[in-house]
Structure 1
């Protein structure tokens, strides 16, 4: 997670973590939000039921044959329409099921498409009922869904991606045309594998019908060619619907905008209330957006990825004004169909989020060192003490300075070193990193630089945590430097902390720390031991166990951190967004580039 290269994780709290503090949300606003949520859930489940009934009616042979025969007879359509009708019904049902996800996010465009689909299904079911005496149950269900959608139209307010309609329309043209041309070429290049010599217009008709999975007029001598053209055509047709639906229904993903005025207002809040949360200063990241409470006394910073508005840490500012900022943030999420989520909030912050209806999980601990009680003496600190002494004898020296003491040349050199040491690795960090080095905008930050024979070999950067604390932002070292260099730099920082007016230092964040610790205890049960083993296995790719071990060397005070989210079903999407934000993957860049094109 930012300064710790880890993921998220594990213990469920019941009804929030039970923190204390005057966080009082508006009861009327909460009741209204719950009422609206209940109405939306009812519509979503109605859409799913209608989709399921439509699938059953389309797939099971007896109802399908009766329905298709009556429809062809009433409209005077050719027999091929039977299969086409089945395919279209299935597509409509699957589309309605997918639209339910958009309805759950209150997306206006999903509501409009669901109105169209349910209206068509209602008409079709009524015709079936008039001609065969069957289908009235399905007609009643689709009509009920249509009425419910109309009645709750004011609940679906989420705005779509501004360019989604254009991209969706282009996809609906481009992919079917590409599939049509490809099937036509396959037919034209294999005349010997066709019965007779069908004219070009029959080839074209067959290629067009293949897009919806219907057999055309062309007859084949080679069965594999029939299967191939059908598979290619239907694949392009289904892909067109799915990709166009993605663009039509996707939530906006605006570029982060943290204006100069926003930064000034955030800094003012941090100057007054920045000592409450060690992660508060990271609200100043350039890739975040901020929303303020109506009074301007608090704010929530966030970034939108994969349809998730990902906040981090506690709201900035006076905690008595947090409910106002949280309501504004949730209002933004509703307006754009985003899933609200919070990474790394404190117990007090988790309480505030739980009181507005979000679920809360404890997913790790922050290592905090108290300057007054920190010492390298004693058996427990022998490893740190020996590492520091060994590197000091090897000639390493460490300087601890405020960032405003550096000149421009030093800043440039340190940025160059940090970039070179990182190499080709992705810049990691979101909730606990600034992603900038020795910047003039952070004058009260602290830089710890290790040197050997006049050459810079490692650096730590800390950001302010109120007026008397520091929070670790960046940890880099020359890959060729000796082990123990980070331990030496932290030890020297703690030695110089009192002179800097620092009383507390926040180190790396250790995800799943409690689970790892429980799995190592004597008498731990099989579940706890198995979970700890899985975490150590995952540590081959992510620094889970190693960060816990590193932090634990300093005998810190462990402070729990939480993740807040609307529902368990949203966790996979939130995980993808968190991984992408923290630099651990998420959506593959190649897929994103393809979808943008």
Structure 2
């Protein structure tokens, strides 16, 4: 049988394709950053400006007669500022680039007859126009502090670049001016005034134009940021808070962090049915949610979808801090995000708690010693406190705070004694007898613990504050008092602090732990000098709790450093911008509709 030899399949010709549309903003942003650096180098170093590489640096307005260095320098700075917005898909950055690139191409062809510069401009302009739908991100929340930050950073950058410009012409300087004279010349030049440094030939004009352009650029960008229309960070409105409280009344017992969603510096998105919600805050471009979604588990996917829509609309990095295992499963299933165990939450079951036994010996002895020193405790609902005592508690909590800023985001309510929080729990310690029992500024009040509701039969620890002059052990005393008073108040479970990386700390100190685990534990112990990592774990472990794992949900591993940085800012460990003075604060405006186009009224009636 003669068989026919099958013909070899002809390989189809591969048609060259451009980059994926979703990667265009990143590529264009990097290209603009590169060209910006080249423009800056061309404006600072005269030899580089006349080299062949400067053809690449002339994408935006370049060298026009005597203003070559000044325009090249200012264009480079603007390109660097523009590149970040292009990477983040920002619509305004796209508009600026589309307007500037043709202008640069025309200028190159008209004044320099540089065909290469025109081609490079059009090469960058083409993907911007072709993939314009990729640049649809809305503006970020911003405040007037951006103008001050821009003035400081741009001023410092202009001073550094100006010093390079002044020092880039050593062979044309008259004499050998000192560093102080050069700095003085830069400062004068930024304001358009001639300084003490002199040059031969036309170099004085080049340096003067460059310094004047840097000063003008700093002034213009600062004025723009100060007077541009404000897009303030969204806040929880009264209607949003009322809807969240309704959801918590029905489903609040599922997550111990649920009540912290009522922080009023958070925004919220609701599911189309209104039966679930996700609260968040935007920090440094990260859309940071905390805990599980609020409401019916079956409605979580709708709220999560709205959350992701909002993140895409603004080109924010989505992240969730401290969600439960169930919450992590839903987030990863619905969004394709990844989850990483962040630590454990300490939960004490009231029925199982007792001071008896060898394991509780240290806590038992500490409590007895403090009680013998003349301290007594009171555990009450906030609604049971009188106005005068509540005012004293609030003042003491503010004054005893160890930092200038209020810390906490995922496990902090951010307020005490609000009329709407009457079901919160307050445990207070008082010094009653002895020489040191005389009333002080806050009477005999020495320590405060504040708990928020966790459903109908639980509470979650919100804050711990104590007078620094009080005896050590106040927190242990008040936690024990709260646990012992819990049955009378109908409380069956108490959530204590969150212990980051608890599993690593616990396993790393056991016999047989490997070198990697021991090294990881050593790093955590080292970081505990600045962050309460090991100390919180050991403090929680005193009360023999059960540990509930908590997770961070993220999009990509490369986002984790950024998410960690944003979380430290949200928790109050890093403060990049101080709070506005009281007389400069504005009234919080009504929250604008979400970017997906559904108004709050439509969501309520859906």
TM-score (norm 2): 0.72
Q: CA deviation at 1:71?
A: 13
Hey, what's the Cα distance between the residues in 2 that align with 1:507 and 1:79? 69
Q: Tell me if the contact between 2:409 and 2:570 (Cα under 8 Å) persists in the aligned partners.
A: yes
Q: Tell me if the contact between 1:87 and 1:212 (Cα under 8 Å) persists in the aligned partners.
A: no
Q: CA deviation at 1:547?
A: 1.1
Name the residue aligned to 2:573: 584
2:258 pairs with 280, 287, 300, which one?
Answer: 280
Name the residue aligned to 2:421: 442
How many residues end up aligned between the 2 structures?
A: 519
Q: 1:545 to 1:566 in 2, by over 3 A?
A: same
Name the residue aligned to 1:457: 446
Hey, what's the Cα distance between the residues in 1 that align with 2:581 and 2:38? 35
Hey, what's the Cα distance between the residues in 1 that align with 2:469 and 2:410? 29
Q: Does 1:103 align with 2:82?
A: no
Name the residue aligned to 2:595: none
2:463 pairs with 474, 477, 481, which one?
Answer: 474
Hey, what's the Cα distance between the residues in 1 that align with 2:109 and 2:211? 34
Tell me whether 462-471 or 439-448 shows the greater mean CA deviation.
Answer: 439-448
Hey, what's the Cα distance between the residues in 1 that align with 2:529 and 2:447? 24
Q: Tell me if the contact between 1:400 and 1:446 (Cα under 8 Å) persists in the aligned partners.
A: yes
Hey, what's the Cα distance between the residues in 1 that align with 2:330 and 2:222? 38
Q: Tell me if the contact between 2:71 and 2:210 (Cα under 8 Å) persists in the aligned partners.
A: no
Hey, what's the Cα distance between the residues in 2 that align with 1:208 and 1:386? 66
Query: Could you report, residue by residue, the CA deviation over 1:521-569 in whole angstroms, capped at 9, with x for unpaired residues?
Result: 2233334333323322322222222111111111211222222333444
Name the residue aligned to 2:549: 560
Q: CA deviation at 1:144?
A: 4.2
Hey, what's the Cα distance between the residues in 1 that align with 2:428 and 2:64? 81
Q: Tell me if the contact between 1:194 and 1:222 (Cα under 8 Å) persists in the aligned partners.
A: no
Q: Tell me if the contact between 2:35 and 2:57 (Cα under 8 Å) persists in the aligned partners.
A: no
Hey, what's the Cα distance between the residues in 2 that align with 1:255 and 1:562? 26
Q: Tell me if the contact between 1:258 and 1:288 (Cα under 8 Å) persists in the aligned partners.
A: yes
Hey, what's the Cα distance between the residues in 1 that align with 2:508 and 2:141? 49
SS in 1 for 2:232: coil
Name the residue aligned to 1:360: 339
SS in 2 for 1:157: coil
Hey, what's the Cα distance between the residues in 2 that align with 1:428 and 1:162? 21
Q: CA deviation at 1:513?
A: 2.0
Name the residue aligned to 2:373: 394
1:503 pairs with 480, 486, 492, which one?
Answer: 492
SS in 2 for 1:537: helix
Q: CA deviation at 1:407?
A: 2.5
Query: Could you report, residue by residue, the CA deviation over 1:195-239 in whole angstroms, capped at 9, with x for unpaired residues?
Result: 8xxxxxxxxxx99997799x99x9637999999968854653564
Q: Does 1:290 align with 2:268?
A: yes
Tell me whether 142-151 or 56-65 shows the greater mean CA deviation.
Answer: 56-65
Map 1:237-248 to 2 at 5 A: 239=218
Map 1:174-573 to 2 at 5 A: 220=199, 233=212, 235-236=214-215, 239=218, 254-355=232-333, 356-422=335-401, 425-453=404-432, 455-573=444-562
TM-score (norm 1): 0.73
Q: CA deviation at 1:96?
A: 4.4
Q: CA deviation at 1:272?
A: 0.8
Hey, what's the Cα distance between the residues in 2 that align with 1:549 and 1:456? 27
Which gives a bigger RCO, structure 1 or 2 (Cα 8 Å, sep 6+)?
Answer: 1
Gaps of 5+ in 1: 1-36, 188-192, 196-205
Q: CA deviation at 1:265?
A: 0.6
Q: CA deviation at 1:508?
A: 0.6
SS in 2 for 1:361: strand
SS in 1 for 2:85: helix
1:40 pairs with 2, 19, 22, which one?
Answer: 22
Hey, what's the Cα distance between the residues in 1 that align with 2:351 and 2:482? 13
Query: Could you report, residue by residue, the CA deviation over 1:246-283 in whole angstroms, capped at 9, with x for unpaired residues?
Result: 889x9976244222211111011001111111111011
SS in 1 for 2:400: helix
Hey, what's the Cα distance between the residues in 2 that align with 1:510 and 1:38? 42
Hey, what's the Cα distance between the residues in 1 that align with 2:337 and 2:282? 18
Query: Could you report, residue by residue, the CA deviation over 1:438-466 in whole angstroms, capped at 9, with x for unpaired residues?
Result: 33311222222222217222221111111
Q: Tell me if the contact between 1:256 and 1:286 (Cα under 8 Å) persists in the aligned partners.
A: no
Q: 1:323 to 1:59 in 2, by over 3 A?
A: same
SS in 1 for 2:298: helix
Hey, what's the Cα distance between the residues in 1 that align with 2:325 and 2:574? 28
Q: 1:54 to 1:108 in 2, by over 3 A?
A: closer
Quote the RMSD (CA, aligned, Å): 4.7
Q: 1:555 to 1:224 in 2, by over 3 A?
A: farther
Q: Tell me if the contact between 1:253 and 1:306 (Cα under 8 Å) persists in the aligned partners.
A: no
Tell me whether 53-62 or 94-103 shows the greater mean CA deviation.
Answer: 53-62
Q: Tell me if the contact between 1:252 and 1:336 (Cα under 8 Å) persists in the aligned partners.
A: no
SS in 1 for 2:310: helix
Name the residue aligned to 2:96: 113
Hey, what's the Cα distance between the residues in 1 that align with 2:354 and 2:55? 86
Gaps of 5+ in 2: 1-18, 167-171, 175-184, 434-443, 586-606
Tell me whether 275-284 or 357-366 shows the greater mean CA deviation.
Answer: 357-366
Tell me whether 452-461 or 546-555 shows the greater mean CA deviation.
Answer: 452-461
